[in-house]
Amino acid sequence: MGQSLQPEPSGERSGGRETAGEVSELERGLHAIVGSFYRYTEGSEGPKELDQAAFQTLLSNELSHQLTNAEDRKAALDMFKTVDANNDQKISFDEYWDLIAEICRVIQRSHYNE
Ligand SMILES: [Ca+2]
């Protein structure tokens, strides 16, 4: 295998490859997706996952324009149950990712309707 995908560079580059130009909008967006999950898992014990309260905070802080009912507690609870695919009362990164993928499909349908 050649170069592996590197996460965000930590500190000084030493002998690493130079990337040409600036970080792209897409790359910033990808980091924002991952980072926004972990911003809300802070304080959780064990594996980094979102409990119901953290998930609701994420919805209302980060996705209020995509999810029209993000402020509605009942709707947020329904959303939690839907996203919590394995029903363990926590949202894992994989489950969060499925939500992001679904939101991307909604954006695609509404903005780039084919
Ligand atoms: Ca789960």
Instruction: Please report where in the chains the tokens 């409990």 appear, as a residue.
Output: 51
Joined together, the tokens standing for residue 21 give 């130009």
Burial (0-12, 13-18, 19+ Cβ within 10 Å), 36: middle
CA 11 to ligand 1 centroid distance, Å: 34
CA 84 to ligand 1 centroid distance, Å: 4
Class of domain 49-111: mainly alpha
CA 29 to ligand 1 centroid distance, Å: 24
CA 90 to ligand 1 centroid distance, Å: 4
CA 110 to ligand 1 centroid distance, Å: 28
pTM of the model: 0.76
Q: Where do the domains of the chain lie?
A: 49-111
- What confidence tens digit (pLDDT) does each residue in 37-66 have? 999 997 767 789 999 999 999 999 999 888
Q: Is the per-residue pLDDT at 23 higher than 80?
A: yes
